[in-house]
Amino acid sequence: MNLQAAFQLSTEPIDTTLLSRTLADDAAGAFVSFEGRVRNSNEGQKVLSLEYEAYVDMAISEGASVIDEAARRFDLIGALCVHRTGSLSIGDVAVWIGVISGHREEAFAACRFIIDEVKLRVPIWKKEHYVDGSTDWVAPPSVDAR
Partner 1 sequence: MTAESKRIRVEYYAQFREKRKCSGEEITTSAATAIEFYRELDAKQPFGLFSAQIRIALNGKLVPWETAITDGDTVVFLTPFGGG
Residues in the chain: 146
Q: What region, left, alpha or beta, does residue 145 occupy, with left being phi > 0 and alpha being psi -120 to 50 degrees?
A: alpha
Q: Give strand pairing partners of 95.
A: 36, 83
Question: Does 32 sit near partner 1 (CB under 8 A)?
Answer: no
Instruction: Report in angstroms how near the CB of residue 103 gets to partner 1 at its nearest.
Output: 26
Question: Does 27 sit near partner 1 (CB under 8 A)?
Answer: no
Residues numbered 81 to 100 that lie near partner 1 (CB under 8 A) are 83, 94-95
Among 58, 72, 75, 131, binds partner 1 (CB under 8 A): 58
- Cα gap 90→15, rounded to integer Å: 16
Question: Does 36 sit near partner 1 (CB under 8 A)?
Answer: yes
Q: Which of 84, 104, 103, 81 is nearest to 92 (CA)?
A: 84
Question: Does 139 sit near partner 1 (CB under 8 A)?
Answer: yes
Residue nearer to partner 1 on the CB measure, 18 or 143: 143
Instruction: Report in angstroms how near the CB of residue 137 gets to partner 1 at its nearest.
Output: 5
Which helix (H) or strand (E) covers residue 50, if one does? Answer: strand 45-54
Question: Does 129 sit near partner 1 (CB under 8 A)?
Answer: no
- In the chain, the amino acid numbered 35 is E
Contact footprint for partner 1 (CB under 8 A): 36, 52-55, 57-59, 61, 83, 94-95, 115, 118-127, 137-140, 143-144
